[in-house]
Chains A and B, each alone.
Chain A
Amino acid sequence: ETGVTQTPRHLVMGMTNKKSLKCEQHLGHNAMYWYKQSAKKPLELMFVYNFKEQTENNSVPSRFSPECPNSSHLFLHLHTLQPEDSALYLCASSQDPGLAGETDTQYFGPGTRLTVL
């Protein structure tokens, strides 16, 4: 158990559906992240939130919309996705964002396996 939980673990949705992924961290960290992991590709950073403020948006299409109501919760709202968006979506948190050192270590949740039909 890493202290970072994600729900749902698996999600199948059509291209016209709207769904949300949820992440919660119980580690008292200040930064939270969304990553996309596709087969045979490196982890792709999507969004970063530091102290509830979005500090990074890595050219992610607008059909992905993040929300961070507090430093413990992070959502990823999905709408009108494409089949190529099928992937494992990982949430992570770290203690001290932007501060070099081992405190920048990211702790990952188990991920949501998303399939878009």
Chain B
Amino acid sequence: GNSVTQMEGPVTLSEEAFLTINCTYTATGYPSLFWYVQYPGEGLQLLLKATKADDKGSNKGFEATYRKETTSFHLEKGSVQVSDSAVYFCALRTEAGTALIFGKGTTLSVSS
């Protein structure tokens, strides 16, 4: 079946460090891929998305590239800030699907 696997957290970084959160997926066809972010006490917000192979989604300094050959959509940021501390969810929606399929989430904690 369709699924999303994220690296387990928590990920703990110092301010200005480089961030990578790994995400791989299993799906038929050509799904759309998403990263959502959840700040403490809030709902999920769309961070970025990519809809076809080799697309790069980007927002707020975060980037992720849709890699069909490795079925991956890793999230990266060159220099994290304390305000980036949150839970990050990778998700997919298949061409025939209705709802999103989420990974279990990765908690990021950034200290100054």
Q: Do A and B come from one complex?
A: no
User: B residues engaging A (CB < 8 A)?
Assistant: none
User: A residues engaging B (CB < 8 A)?
Assistant: none
